[in-house]
Amino acid sequence: VWTDQASHKASLQLPEVQAAIARARPFIAGFEFQIETHPVGGFGLPAPEKAG
């Protein structure tokens, strides 16, 4: 889980990530659209900020 789009973009420059993408490309070639999610909590994620 990335904290923002800039972190995600930066991760794409890592050699390990580029190698993983190259191996996965045949599996993801047929994806027609992208879904962006916004997790609201879970193990390892920061606790949500309390309102007011």
pLDDT the model gives residue 15: 96
34 contacts: CB under 8 Å, gap ≥ 6: none
Give me the torsion for CA of 25, 29, 7, 35, rounded to 10°: -150
pTM of the model: 0.52
Amino acid at 1: V
pLDDT along the chain (52 residues), means of 10: 87 95 85 77 74 60
